[in-house]
């Protein structure tokens, strides 16, 4: 891809290199972003097949198809997903859009498990955009990007017995929720987890300290994470 824009910035000065103190990790990061995805029109993309991890072509109607590319770039050692999608009708290109998806918390705190604030995510985003220009070049300015996914989470600290709390909440009557499950989630290191919701959306509450046990920077004992999710 030929591009006259400046090269991606030196990431050694990125927000992820600010070393948080334990107090900042535990106290300040109570509510934060867990996943952010945006889309935007693009004017150019990397044409080399080797630059992308996956290619796909899908028919969406008698005379329409969607061609997509998925790849990634590294920012401060963390993987950021980058995509390109073209929509055709009767063989004529109608729209070309780019996509960026990443976890702001891991950019800000790569080795830990704390949550990034909205301000920290905003400070990091320009670095993400410039790194993504290795694969796609946006036609719109950042304020015009469309947010397609925004996951938030909240940590509760100082819980004496997380497993007891979670089991107790499982017994509450929730007539609005089709799903009300409690289990030791194998995807979360066997952490006690409750899942409430339906087919399109759900909320998880789980023992974050148990889930991160054994990591270099685990969550403080007594940390319980509230994690709402909407199905993609």
Per-residue pLDDT of the chain (232 residues), as tens digits, is 544 444 433 443 444 444 444 444 444 446 799 999 999 999 999 999 999 999 999 988 889 999 999 999 999 889 999 999 999 999 999 999 999 999 999 999 998 999 999 899 989 999 999 999 999 999 989 989 999 998 999 999 999 999 999 999 988 888 888 888 888 888 888 888 999 988 778 899 999 999 999 988 999 999 999 999 876 5
Q: What are the domain boundaries of the chain?
A: 10-152, 157-232
DSSP string, the chain: ----SPPPP-GGGSGGGS---HHIIIII-SEEEEEEEEEEEEEEE---GGG-SEEEEEEEETTEEEEEEEEEEEETTEEEEEEEEEEEETTEEEEEEEEEEE-HHHHHSTTS---B-HHHHHHHHHHHHHHHTTTEEESS-GGGPEEEEEEEEEEE---S-HHHHHHHHHTS--TT-SEEEEEEEGGGTTEEEEEEE-SSEEEEEEEHHHHTTTSSSPPPTT-EEEEEEE--
Whether the predicted model's global pTM rises above the 0.85 cut:
no
């Amino acid at each position: 891809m030929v591009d006259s824009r400046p090269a991606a910035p030196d990431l050694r000065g990125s927000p992820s290199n600010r070393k948080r103190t334990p107090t900042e990790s535990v106290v300040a990061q109570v509510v934060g972003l867990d996943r952010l995805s945006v889309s935007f029109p693009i004017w150019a993309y990397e044409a080399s097949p080797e630059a992308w991890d996956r290619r796909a072509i899908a028919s969406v109607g008698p005379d329409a198809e969607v061609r997509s590319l998925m790849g990634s770039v590294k920012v401060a050692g963390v993987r950021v997903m980058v995509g390109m999608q073209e929509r055709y009708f009767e063989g004529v290109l109608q729209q070309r859009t780019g996509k960026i998806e990443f976890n702001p918390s891991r950019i800000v705190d790569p080795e830990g498990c704390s949550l990034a604030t909205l301000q920290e995510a905003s400070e990091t985003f320009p670095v993400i955009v410039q790194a993504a220009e290795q694969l796609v070049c946006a036609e719109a300015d950042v304020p015009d990007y469309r947010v397609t996914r925004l996951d938030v989470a909240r940590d509760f600290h100082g819980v004496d017995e997380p497993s007891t709390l979670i089991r107790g909440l499982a017994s509450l009557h929730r007539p609005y929720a089709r799903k009300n499950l409690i289990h030791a989630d194998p995807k979360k290191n066997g952490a006690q987890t409750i899942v409430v919701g339906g087919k399109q959306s759900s909320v998880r509450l789980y023992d974050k300290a148990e889930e991160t046990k054994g990591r270099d920077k685990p969550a403080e004992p007594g940390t319980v994470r509230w994690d709402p999710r909407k199905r993609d």
